[in-house]
Amino acid sequence: MSFCADREQQGILLCVLAAAGFGAMAIFAKLAYAAGFDAASLLLLRFTIAAVVLWAIVLVRRPSRPSLRTVAAAVALGAFGYAVQAASFFFALERIDASMASLLLYVYPTLVLIGAIAMGRERATRRRVTALALASAGTVLVLMGGAAGALDPTGVALALVAAISYTAYILSADRAVRDADPVLLVAMILTSAAVVVGIFNAAAGGPHLGHVGASGWSAAAGVAVVSTVLPVIAFLVGIQRVGPATASIVSTVEPVITVMLAMAVFGEQLAPVQVLGGAAVLGAVVLVNVRSRVRSVHGAPALSPAAAPAGALASQPAGG
C-alpha cells in the first residue's frame, strides 16, 4: 500500500513539474523577444533543439518501428496541426500579455469536448453542458477585463486560433496515432513542425538571429528544453504512475503557473473580472475531468479526448 502511495505521489509531482515547465513557456518566450528574437526564429530553434534531444532519446530506447500510416499521420499533425497552433500562440505572445494568452489558450479542453460531442464521440451530459457554459462565460470575462486597457484584437484572435487549431490537432491525433510510441511520436511531430517553420523562415528571409543578445539564447534554451523536452518526459512518466484522468486534473495548474510567473517576472496584473474568468475556465476543465476520473475508478473508459491535459494528448508538447 505504501509503495502504491509513493508511486502516486511521485506521479502527481511529475505532472506538476510538467505543468510548470509548459506554464513557463510563455515567460521564456517573452524574455527571448525582449532580447531580440522574433516569434518565427524562436519557434524554429525550439522545434529543432527539442527534436534533436528527443531523437537522441529514441535512439537509446529503440522503440518498435512505426507503420507508414503512423509516420504519415505524425508528419501531417506536425506540419498542419502543431506548427499552426504553436505559431499562433507565439505570435500572440508578441502582442498580448503572457497571462491572457495562456488563459485564452486553455479554452481548448472545452472546445475539444464540443468537437467530441459534435462528432458523436461523447454525450452532452448535464455536467458537460455546465462545463461548456462555465468556460464560455470565463472566456468572455477574461476579454471584458482586458477591454479596459490596451487589448490587442489581433493578439486575442491569434490566441483563440491557437486554441482552435490545438482542438483540431487533438481530435485528429486521438484517432490517427493512438498506438504509436509516445516519445517517437513527439519526435516525428516536432521534426515535421521544424521543417514547416524552417520553410516559413526561409521565405521571410530568416531566421533573424543577428541582434539576439546572450540572454535571448538562454531564454530560447529554456523554451526548448525546460518548457518542451523536460515536461514531455516528466508527463510521460507521471501519467504511467497516476493514469490520464488524475494527470489531466493536475495539469489544470498550468495556466495558473503562467499567470503567477508573469506577475512575478513582468509585473503583469489581471483585473478582478479576469481572475474570475480564469477561475471559471479552469473550473470547467476540472468539472469535466473529475467526472472522467470517477468513471475510470469504476472501470469505465478513463479519459476522453476532451479531458486530455495541456501538453500531452499522446504526450505531445503544448503551451504553444
Render pLDDT for 32-80 as a digit per residue (tens, 0 to 9): 999 999 999 999 999 999 999 999 999 999 888 888 888 998 899 899 8
Question: Is 97 part of any domain?
Answer: yes
Residues whose CB falls within 8 Å of the CB of residue 72, separated by 6 or more in sequence, listed in order: none
Residue 90: per-residue pLDDT: 95
Residue 315: per-residue pLDDT: 42
Residue 15: per-residue pLDDT: 83
Average pLDDT of the residues in 237-249 = 74
Q: Quick check: helix, strand or coil at residue 24?
A: coil
Question: Is 241 part of any domain?
Answer: yes
Number of structural domains (the chain) is: 1
Return the closest-CA partner of residue 218 out of 8, 23, 24, 19: 24
What digits encode the pLDDT tens for the residues 142-177?
A: 767 655 455 789 999 999 999 999 888 888 876 666
Asked whether residue 285 carries a pLDDT value surpassing 50, the answer given is yes
Residues whose CB falls within 8 Å of the CB of residue 44, separated by 6 or more in sequence, listed in order: 194, 197, 198, 201, 206, 207
Question: Is 51 part of any domain?
Answer: yes
Distance separating alpha carbons of residues 48 and 27, to the nearest angstrom: 20
% of the chain exceeding 70 in pLDDT:
82
What is each CA distance from 117 to 161, 217, 285, in whole angstroms?
Answer: 20, 43, 15
Q: Are 110 and 285 in contact (CB under 8 A)?
A: yes
Residues whose CB falls within 8 Å of the CB of residue 143, separated by 6 or more in sequence, listed in order: 151, 156, 277
Question: Is 237 part of any domain?
Answer: yes
Question: Is 86 part of any domain?
Answer: yes
Question: Is 94 part of any domain?
Answer: yes
HSE, side-chain direction, 13 A CA sphere, residue 108: 32
Block residue for cell numbers 540572454: 215
Asked whether residue 305 carries a pLDDT value surpassing 50, the answer given is no
% of the chain exceeding 90 in pLDDT:
33
Residues whose CB falls within 8 Å of the CB of residue 99, separated by 6 or more in sequence, listed in order: 255, 258, 259, 262, 263, 268, 270
Asked whether residue 24 carries a pLDDT value surpassing 90, the answer given is yes
Task: Indicate the DSSP class of residue 253.
Answer: G
What is each CA distance from 88 to 40, 194, 304, in whole angstroms?
Answer: 10, 15, 25
What digits encode the pLDDT tens for the residues 188-241?
A: 999 999 999 999 999 989 898 888 989 999 999 999 999 999 988 888 788 778
Which amino acid does the sequence have at 233?
I
Q: Quick check: helix, strand or coil at residue 185?
A: helix
Return the closest-CA partner of residue 254 out of 320, 315, 304: 320
Residue 289: per-residue pLDDT: 63
Residue 66 CB coordination number (10 Å)? 18
Question: Is 137 part of any domain?
Answer: yes
Q: Are 311 and 112 in contact (CB under 8 A)?
A: no
Residue 176: per-residue pLDDT: 65
Give the 3-state secondary structure percentages of the chain, helix then strand then coil, rounded to 5. Answer: 80, 0, 20
Distance separating alpha carbons of residues 92 and 247, to the nearest angstrom: 27
Determine the structural domain holding residue 48 and report its residue range.
2-315
Residue 4: per-residue pLDDT: 59
> Cell for 69?
500510416
Question: Is 320 part of any domain?
Answer: no
